[in-house]
């Protein structure tokens, strides 16, 4: 698969995955861009042991986790992270709230639910995250319950 084709196929999904992590449009764009730089640099090392999508999602998830670790070591100001005004108006309030709720989840849950929202098969999620498929199903169920509670609390 050519890099350009990979980029076109996976950009939106990787961006949304990153958005689920950071709940910040420009930070998510940066993370997605960094992910594709890594994919570009390592494409010849891809050994087809998993699907290319699984490989790219694993790179993206690891990239997001590294960014979160960096931010823990060097905290930003205590200001809440928000999308720019113009970006906020283009995203539906429920989706904004969903991203906010996802961003509040523990890191592993963020990866799992973000991949689930991208309609990645649960077997693939299990490979990306490194847990059993049964555990993925249980975690997704629990995460969805947590998110449902947050939505109910917010009307």
- Reported as a single tens digit per residue, the pLDDT across 86-129 is 454 555 787 888 888 888 888 889 889 988 988 889 999 998 88
Residue ranges of domains in the chain, CATH in brackets: 3-153 (1.20.140)
Mean pLDDT (whole number) for 148-155: 86
Cα(144)–Cα(95) distance, integer angstroms: 15
Average pLDDT, the chain: 84
Is residue 25 a contact partner of residue 87, using CB atoms and an 8 Å limit?
yes
Using CA atoms, how far residue 74 sits from 18, 21, 69, 70, 137, in Å, is 19, 17, 9, 6, 34
The answer to whether residue 145 scores a pLDDT higher than 90 is yes
What is the per-residue pLDDT for 141?
Answer: 96
The answer to whether residue 78 scores a pLDDT higher than 50 is no
What is the per-residue pLDDT for 90?
Answer: 55
């Amino acid at each position: 698969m050519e890099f350009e084709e990979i980029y076109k196929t996976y950009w939106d999904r990787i961006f949304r995955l990153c958005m689920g992590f950071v709940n910040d449009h420009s930070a998510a764009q940066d993370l997605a861009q960094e992910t594709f730089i890594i994919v570009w640099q390592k494409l010849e090392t891809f050994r087809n042991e998993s699907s290319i999508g699984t490989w790219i999602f694993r790179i993206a998830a690891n990239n997001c986790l590294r960014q979160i670790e960096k931010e823990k070591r060097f905290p930003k100001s205590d200001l809440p992270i928000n999308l720019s005004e113009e970006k906020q108006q283009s995203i539906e309030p429920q989706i904004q709230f969903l991203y906010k709720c996802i961003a509040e989840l523990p890191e592993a849950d963020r990866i799992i639910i973000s991949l689930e929202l991208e309609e990645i098969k649960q077997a693939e999620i299990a490979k990306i995250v490194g847990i059993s498929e049964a555990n993925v199903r249980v975690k997704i169920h629990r995460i969805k319950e947590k998110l449902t509670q947050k939505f109910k609390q917010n009307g």
